[in-house]
Amino acid sequence: MTKKERALNAVEMLKKEYPEAVCSLYYSNPFELLVAVRLSAQCTDARVNLVTPALFEKYKTLDDYCSADVKDIEKIIYSCGFYKSKAESIIDMAKGVRDRFGGIVPD
């Protein structure tokens, strides 16, 4: 069994075990979810949900993130902790999605 098959199998098992599970992070598209998940490391989802509205309002598209000034993102996400590495990571993720996946977050 390949890694991908094992991962898909694990996802199906989790869906069966927890059919009512929902994500507590606020997002409106796959890239916003990716950003919110990155911010949630060593941070509560409640804190992330307080920070992301301002971030998502300022940076609406993948290209906005790709051309963002890391210091601007740092200011917005400061309260999530580890803001310097998270800000750099968010910009790098945006560039990776753009360059490796044609701007579409893979499933």
Confidence of residue 11 (pLDDT cuts 50, 70, 90): very high
The answer to whether 49 and 27 are in contact (CB under 8 A) is no
Q: What is the pLDDT of residue 44?
A: 96
Per-residue pLDDT band for 17 (boundaries 50, 70, 90) equals very high
Higher pLDDT, 107 or 38: 38
Is the pLDDT score of 1 beyond 90? no
Alpha carbon separation from 101 to 10, 28, 95 (Å, rounded): 24, 19, 10
Residue 24: half-sphere exposure toward Cβ, Cα within 13 Å:
8
The mean pLDDT value for 18-31 works out to 95
Class of domain 26-101: mainly alpha
Write the single-letter amino acid at 20.
Answer: E
